[in-house]
Homo-oligomer: A and B are copies of this chain.
Amino acid sequence: MPAVTYEHIKTCKQTGARLGIVHTPHGSFETPAFMPVGTQATVKTMSPEELVEVGAGIILSNTYHLWLRPGHDIIQEAGGLHKFMNWDRPILTDSGGFQVFSLSEFRTIKEEGVHFRHHLNGSKLFLSPEKATEIQNALGADIMMAFDECPPYPATFEYMKASVERTSRWAERCLSAHARPADQALFGIVQGGEFEALRKQSAKDLVSLDFPGYAIGGLSVGESKEVMNEVLEFTTPLLPEDKPRYLMGVGSPRSLIDGAIRGIDMFDCVLPTRIARNGALMTSSGRINMRNAKFERDFGPIDDKCTCHVCKNYSRAYIRHLLRADETFGIRLTSYHNLHFLLNLMEEVRGAIRTDSLGDFRDEFFESYGLNKLNAKNF
């Protein structure tokens, strides 16, 4: 039995979205689920207790960052990432691949792995399927990700084909290197850009390796929402129904709903915490920027339909004051609210699947949030 399993609860009759539970060594979480991102072993500004309050069932942490600082050996000595950061619910770590391709300089991709320079101090580094797996084994997250190539967008069919084939070879090497399959589940990552033939090839390769879960990578990299939805529509059916499906790096309200409708179970994104630090807040009637002068004397909550601790206790005027005064407590409040908003949205999505009405929910949400229904599936 793999360390992580997927229990299917029901499928939304209106949309085909899946309601499920993912079981891990650190407990279970309901899906579709959004994973807050704790890059450096902390979800920026938030305490673990607050993450529980806002409803986080699982969080993501970044292998690349933890490898370089403080070092995966230190986290292993501390008793693993859960203990190090005082979070006893599930954790997923990425492979570091995305950061190698997006942050590092002078990278050279070879069959053995990727040679590159540290994005901060310029030192020479090397990451490979074996190394990424070793680091993640040391970190001890419940879910680990295979080390893949993250190709640029756009890429030619030929480039993408070679990349997909390498990613498949690397996936096999990750599986072989994985030292703790009873404690940690290694997920494969389907690549292939917007090319259906390549997504098929990638999915076929990876499914044959029998991973306990699958991610869809290479989306939300610059393509339109329509392309993303189209890729999801032809990719998710290629994945086994009895395993979790994770859409990497996606976290706008629109994409969370669009993704769930297309059979995705897990999502992650820095969006809610990143925009919160700039004062941008998600509300039931769309995004607002709390730094705006019009909120100077607005003594109401961020969102009068929201039930979170911040909306119950603090005014827009106070939060605006804190942000303008560069007070840390301001970004604590905005981060808390945005995470609550997205995690609550996922709760509502799961509720709508339960009542076979996710299509209706989407239409109502898009309307109130001010989103157009471009490329929306009809039900």
Contacts and interface: CB of A to CB of B under 8 A. Distances in A.
Nearest to A315: B78
Interface stretch (A24-32, A42-50, A244-252, A357-365): A42-50
A313 B84 CA distance: 9
Nearest to A78: B299
Contacts of A86: 313-314, 318
Contacts of A321: 40-41, 69-70, 74
27 contacts: A40-B321, A40-B322, A40-B327, A41-B318, A41-B321, A42-B330, A44-B329, A45-B328, A45-B332, A46-B329, A47-B332, A65-B325, A69-B321, A69-B325, A70-B296, A70-B320, A70-B324, A74-B296, A74-B317, A74-B321, A78-B299, A78-B315, A78-B318, A79-B299, A84-B318, A85-B318, A86-B314
B78 A327 contact: no
Contacts of A296: 70, 74
B317 A70 contact: yes
A312 to B, nearest CB: 9
A73 to B, nearest CB: 9
A322 B74 contact: no
How many subunits of this chain does the assembly comprise? Answer: 2
Interface in A72-119: 74, 77-79, 84-86
A135 interface: no
Contact of A74 (B40, B297, B313, B325): B297
Interface in A297-315: 297, 299, 313-315
Nearest to A40: B325
Nearest to A320: B70
B77 A299 contact: yes
Contacts of A332: 45, 47, 328, 332
Q: Which 9 A-B pairs have the closest CB atoms?
A: A70-B321, A42-B329, A45-B328, A40-B325, A86-B313, A42-B327, A78-B299, A84-B318, A328-B328
A331 interface: yes
A237 to B, nearest CB: 41
A108 B5 CA distance: 73
Contacts of A65: 325
A69 B321 CA distance: 7
Interface of A: 40-42, 44-47, 65, 69-70, 74, 77-79, 84-86, 296-297, 299, 313-315, 317-318, 320-322, 324-325, 327-332
A379 to B, nearest CB: 43
B47 A329 contact: yes
A173 to B, nearest CB: 30
A277 to B, nearest CB: 9
Contacts of A315: 78, 84
Given A42-B327, A70-B324, A74-B297, 20 more contacts: A40-B321, A40-B322, A40-B327, A41-B318, A42-B322, A44-B327, A44-B329, A46-B329, A47-B329, A69-B321, A70-B321, A74-B296, A74-B317, A74-B321, A78-B299, A78-B317, A79-B299, A84-B318, A86-B314, A332-B332
A321 B71 CA distance: 10
A41 B327 CA distance: 10
A44 B328 CA distance: 7
Contacts of A46: 329
A325 B79 CA distance: 20
A44 B330 CA distance: 10
Contacts of A318: 41, 78, 84-86
Contacts of A299: 77-79
